[in-house]
Amino acid sequence: MIETLEPFRIELTGYCYRMLGSGFEAEDAVQETLVRAWKAYDSFDPSRASVRTWLYRIATNICIDMLRSAQRRALAVDLQPPGGEFGEPLPERVFVQPVPDSRVLPEDQAIRKETVRLAFVAALQHLPPRQRAVLILRDVLAWKASEVATLLDISVASGNSALQRARSTLQTVDPGEPLDVDDPVQKSLLSRYCEAFERHDVGTLVALLHEDATMSMPPFSWWLRGRDALAAALSDPNASCKGAWLVPVQANASPAYWQLRPGMDQPFGLVFIDVRDGLVTGSTTFLNVNELLPIFGSPNQTGMRVDF
């Protein structure tokens, strides 16, 4: 029985992560899914549905139940206007959280990897739970309309209507464009940005920024927008990253790095870099390292950045 259920763990975690916006909650949801399936396996009827469809039905119901009492997870840029005081750290449940690629992207499936980007997952959180499920199943996992209707116990027409409403909402949220990791221009930009960061070359860093670039540091709601505002923050001697270096990590199908600092026995933060049209459009540095290490594991403290 375990041999039948366990192979679905990664793809189910990816599904639940898109639904919930948290790798921690996604893994909890999948564990509960597998436990329920194990207990009910004797009553499973393969003539009515495949094991995969059955597991997705259980996982969907669990996610919807979890979302009934949860607030919408978001990115810092969705919470308040830019600037202001740094303030106090907010609870983990406020923010969309990062997740390792290995936990959510099955190697044997052709799934759109960009659909685990932080911005896309944050955009999904604007959808009501059932619309969210329909859109993920149809547009991300390429399920047929009839399969989704059966899973959610709705008509095909109702499922199609929910899909159209979900697509319309996503267009208003604008999750941005995914990075083409094979684009030599983007790869060169990331390499130059990381090298400038490690040299603490503020002038070069600023020159690589888009004029509307953003900077945020969850679990704080504080964030900045605009090249000038970011230049001032990067130049602040009280917030210097001098001596720090970056170690790449595979997370959210995006350029991501552990930021390491001399004298620290664990990373300072997990940094995501957004790029577009040959410029850096944003950086998000997750500072809740103690919460992230259990799911990501510790980086190689002596490691150096490697080029994309």
Q: For the chain, which residues make up each domain, given as ranges? A: 2-173, 184-296
* Residue 304 confidence (pLDDT): 46
Q: What is the pLDDT of residue 86?
A: 86
- Closest C-alpha to 201, from 226, 225, 235: 235
Is the distance from CB of 90 to CB of 119 less than 8 angstroms? Answer: no
CATH number of 184-296: 3.10.450.50
- The structural architecture, per CATH, of the domain 2-173 is Up-down Bundle (1.20)
Strands (E), 123-242: 209-216, 223-225
Residues in the chain where the model's pLDDT stays below 50: 302-308
pLDDT score, position 108:
59
Q: How far is Cα 249 from Cα 59, in angstroms, rounded to an integer?
A: 28
Inter-CA distances, 242 with 26, 115, 181, 239, 302, Å: 36, 34, 28, 9, 17
What's residue 300's pLDDT? Answer: 63
pLDDT in tens, 6-28: 899 999 999 999 999 999 999 99
